């Protein structure tokens, strides 16, 4: 006779039993909303569970495949069985490598994240640049599937700056890059450089 193990409980350690799930997402029948999980991703893309870093890259990659961002900006791990909110300090991933094919308006750029995901920079996966309030430094991101973002490392951002050029759009002088037929501003230009 074959013995069956108890079903795994996953990461269900709910700190929040409100039952409120991701905004804009309808849970499937049988999906358990676990509330807040004791899991977070720090600014450097390191994943933690119960305060300890998750050292197994394979496990982080697995979790990264079920990470989604809801309409309110919260991050959730969504599996067929469970849904749980996690804390993300900045962006859950880092864009650590730039690949380029072609040049100018005809070029195609792609970024590799710290979990090995390749993102083609295009209209559906744009680069956006915020300015850090405290330092005035650029904070560049690429939007990935599921509303999740990857923050570009400084080295990748500087590679983009190196291949960027001036473009006037809507009467505004911008500096940025082309990829897959779309222009992505890295910054605004004030006067002539």
CA 164 vs. chain centroid, Å, equals 23
For the stretch 105-143, pLDDT in tens is 899 999 999 999 999 999 999 999 998 778 888 899 999
Q: Which residues pair with 143 in a beta bridge?
A: 149
Q: Which class would CATH give 93-188?
A: mainly beta
pLDDT of residue 30: 86
Alpha-carbon distance of 14 to 50, in angstroms, equals 12
Say whether 51 sits in a helix, a strand or coil: coil
CATH topology match: 8-89 vs 93-188? no
Residues of the chain with pLDDT under 50: 1-18, 192-193
Element (H, E) at 156: helix 154-163
| pTM of the model as a whole | 0.81
pLDDT of residue 9: 39
How do the domains of the chain map onto residue ranges? 8-89, 93-188
Distance in angstroms between the alpha carbons of the first and the last residue of the chain: 79
Q: Residue 152 corresponds to which tokens in the numbers above?
A: 């570009």
Cα radius of gyration (the chain): 20
Q: Which class would CATH give 8-89?
A: alpha beta
pLDDT of residue 40: 96
For the stretch 59-69, pLDDT in tens is 999 999 999 99
How many Cβ atoms are within 10 Å of 21's Cβ, its own excluded?
Answer: 21
pLDDT of residue 191: 59
Alpha-carbon distance of 127 to 140, in angstroms, equals 7
């Amino acid at each position: 006779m074959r013995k069956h193990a108890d079903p795994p409980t996953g990461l269900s350690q709910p700190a929040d039993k409100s039952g409120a799930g991701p905004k804009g997402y309808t849970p499937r029948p049988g999906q358990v909303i676990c509330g807040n999980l004791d899991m977070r991703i720090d600014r450097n893309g390191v994943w933690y569970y119960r305060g300890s870093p998750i050292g197994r890259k394979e496990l982080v990659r697995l979790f990264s495949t079920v990470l989604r961002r809801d309409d309110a900006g919260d991050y959730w791990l969504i599996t067929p069985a469970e849904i749980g909110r996690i804390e993300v300090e900045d962006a859950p991933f880092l864009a650590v490598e730039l690949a380029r094919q072609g040049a100018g308006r005809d070029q195609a750029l792609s970024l590799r994240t710290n979990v090995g995901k390749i993102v083609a920079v295009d209209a559906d996966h744009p680069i956006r640049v915020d300015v850090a309030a405290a330092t005035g430094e650029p904070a560049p991101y690429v939007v990935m599937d599921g509303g999740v973002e990857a923050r570009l490392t400084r080295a990748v951002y500087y590679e983009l700056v190196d291949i960027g050029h001036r473009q006037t759009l809507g009467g505004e002088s911008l500096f940025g890059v082309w990829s897959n037929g779309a222009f992505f501003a890295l910054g605004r230009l004030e006067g002539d450089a």
